[in-house]
């Protein structure tokens, strides 16, 4: 029959840290192998968030997003901006927050690089967005059929660096 020993935890910690004077060195802890757990995905979405890539064809990306939208009835969010723009970068980081991302996941997201406001202006104009007026980042939400639901010509996202994530969530909820 096994006897239960009652050794205070503090004594075990002292012995393991300092060693037992009766032995030549510290007590070696038992080696325990813990199986690696699979990494949880950072975001639940199937689609990663796009970045402002000057080599992408925004017309092709929007066409592809609209094809998906017609199938699943989710709207398309077009994010016009540039990698050099601090407010665009902050908005991208805000989009990646769990509290925001779960609301963004109901959209098919397309990022359109506008360079120094000298690239893809025809795409912005096609969807009723005046980037000279709105600044960047600027957002357009399309219905699954491609109809413009909203274009942020009011510049509401141009100061995204100072915008609380709750305001981004309000926008997403309103237009989802």
Q: So what's the pLDDT on residue 31?
A: 52
Nearest to 134 by CA among 91, 81, 97, 77: 81
pLDDT at 162: 95
pLDDT of residue 47: 60
pTM of the model: 0.73
Residues with Cβ within 8 Å of 65's Cβ and at least 6 positions away in sequence, in order, are 76, 108, 109, 110
Instruction: Give residue-wise pLDDT tens across range 34-69.
Output: 444 333 333 334 467 889 999 999 999 999 999 999
Q: Is the peptide bond before 2 cis (omega within 30 degrees of 0)?
A: no
């Amino acid at each position: 029959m096994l006897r239960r020993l009652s050794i205070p935890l503090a004594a075990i910690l002292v012995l393991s840290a300092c060693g037992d004077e009766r032995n030549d060195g510290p007590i070696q802890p038992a080696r325990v192998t813990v199986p690696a757990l699979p990494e949880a995905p950072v975001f639940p979405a199937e689609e990663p968030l796009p970045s402002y890539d000057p080599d992408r064809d925004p017309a092709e990306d929007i066409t592809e997003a609209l094809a998906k939208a017609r199938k699943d009835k989710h709207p398309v969010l077009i994010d016009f901006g540039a990698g050099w723009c601090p407010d665009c970068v902050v908005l991208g980081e805000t989009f990646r927050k769990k509290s925001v991302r779960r609301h963004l996941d109901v959209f098919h997201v397309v990022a359109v690089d506008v360079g120094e406001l000298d690239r893809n202006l025809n795409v912005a104009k096609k969807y009723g967005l005046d980037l000279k007026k709105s600044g960047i980042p600027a957002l357009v939400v399309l219905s699954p059929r491609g109809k413009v639901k909203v274009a942020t010509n009011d510049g509401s996202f141009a100061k995204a660096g100072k915008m609380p994530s709750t305001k981004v969530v309000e926008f997403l909820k309103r237009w989802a």
